[in-house]
Chain A
């Protein structure tokens, strides 16, 4: 690759914008989560700070910044601090390859899908490192759950994505967007409904969101893998969760919902609208469904999603070969 000023400026600008996006996302999403939760549970949610409590998260962020980070005795100090950092740092990289708009891609890469899948794997490792290093039984159990869940749900997720990539004949996210048209019936949602369903379920498993939030199930594990984390350590894990929510929502929008294409004025706003709606759906599901049991969680994955994913891939191959 030729390194010129254009490439350098583009990468730096993309990184800056992504960092801004991720911070803004966490601020807005935490507010939205609490507001939607309040709406569903028939209570007002935050409303004191700012109009409709909009500035509540900002104040919370200042509080978290000012809080003392308590380091438990007999924990592994290096790994204890490495955990939250490891949870956040790959996130800046994976957003580089997402095509937000027709020309708004930080780094156009022919292996974009693979890059995302490769760096998302760090998430499980970060949870493990943090949970193990805090020298707490709840943390350890949470981490153990997180890893068996992450490893399990990654496979059907990849199978679903693979079916779409297979149909488009590319792993380049921009080309996958372009393969879909502006109208909803041209999107992969219609051509690959089973893959979309699998992806949708795996979204909750991959992001450790309710009803699949067993790694941090507060009624049984106090806080799961982040039991011992306070202040910024907790904030980073929290931010990583909302960031991975944003990531899977953008991925679903790009893979199955036409990305930046829309019936009216196709452009970058469509990607954001679709991702935003998907995130709202995730919040809605969280406050609607009860948490599943751990064996149920794994049974859904290994006995249903994995065979269905394989079947879908096989059918896609068959259709591609015959027609």
Chain B
């Protein structure tokens, strides 16, 4: 028994000697910065590619898979912004629930490319789509223009602890939080009402 315990403790010594110093061997700052840029580029590529797939594909299901890619990219950007809670919630709600439900609705559509979406869009439709795509620019352009050339303070974003987030939702942001729950309640009640009406009329 003593032999075993001494050999275990010597194993721990070995681990201490070789494992702990590895924590000192950090990647140099510029390399870490490069990695962050690379990750940012990858996520933006995911968002843009997924968005294009969602808009341009002739099949609704492929369009939905494009949308899932976009959501993945957005979740990645949240991670880069040190908001992992938002990132995981994005996946849990948008990919795990909303996309799956949209898929459910699409499945009731035929698996052929003969529907309305198969026809190539007219000029007016394309123009409208481009206009709609530029709409966010109207919102963000003044913001971007005002802060052009301004560099960030170079500090990594701080991660908000979960407890702080919860306290914020229940104190300072209580009104928006409650309003959103009222909206969800109304939507749910509406869904029940619609189904109810249909079930008992027949």
Residues of B within 8 A of A148 (CB): 104
Please report the C-alpha to C-alpha distance between residue A79 and residue B111 in the assembled complex, in whole angstroms: 13
**A-side interface mostly:** helix
Cβ contacts B71-111/A at 8 Å (1 or 0 each): 00000000000001100110110011101110110010001
**B-side interface mostly:** helix
Segment from B57-65, B121-129, B180-188 that makes contact with A: B57-65
How many A-B pairs have beta carbons closer than 8 Å: the answer is: 97
Q: Which of A4, A121, A143, A147 touches B92 (beta carbons < 8 Å)? A: A121
Knowing A79-B65, A124-B100, A135-B111, the reply to whether A6 touches B22 (Cβ < 8 A) is yes
Cβ contacts A91-118/B at 8 Å (1 or 0 each): 0000000000000000001110011011
Q: Which of B103-161 contact A (CB under 8 A)?
A: 103-104, 107, 111, 161
Residue count of chain A within 8 Å CB distance of chain B: 38
Knowing A114-B89, A125-B103, A148-B104, the reply to whether A76 touches B23 (Cβ < 8 A) is no
Knowing A4-B22, A5-B22, A6-B22, the reply to whether A111 touches B162 (Cβ < 8 A) is yes
**Once the chains bind, are A119 and B91 in contact (CB under 8 Å)?**
yes
Q: Which of B19, B26, B95 touches A125 (beta carbons < 8 Å)? A: B95
**Once the chains bind, are A4 and B24 in contact (CB under 8 Å)?**
yes
**Which residues of B are at the interface with A, using a C-beta cutoff of 8 A?**
19, 22-27, 32, 35, 59, 61-62, 65, 68, 84-85, 88-89, 91-92, 95-97, 99-101, 103-104, 107, 111, 161-162
A-B contact pairs, 25 of them (CB 8 A): A4-B23, A4-B27, A5-B22, A6-B19, A6-B23, A76-B111, A78-B62, A79-B61, A79-B65, A82-B65, A110-B161, A114-B92, A115-B84, A121-B95, A124-B96, A125-B68, A125-B96, A125-B103, A129-B65, A132-B103, A133-B61, A140-B107, A143-B107, A147-B100, A147-B103
**Top 6 closest pairs, chain A to chain B, by CB:** A121-B96, A118-B91, A6-B22, A5-B25, A118-B88, A4-B26
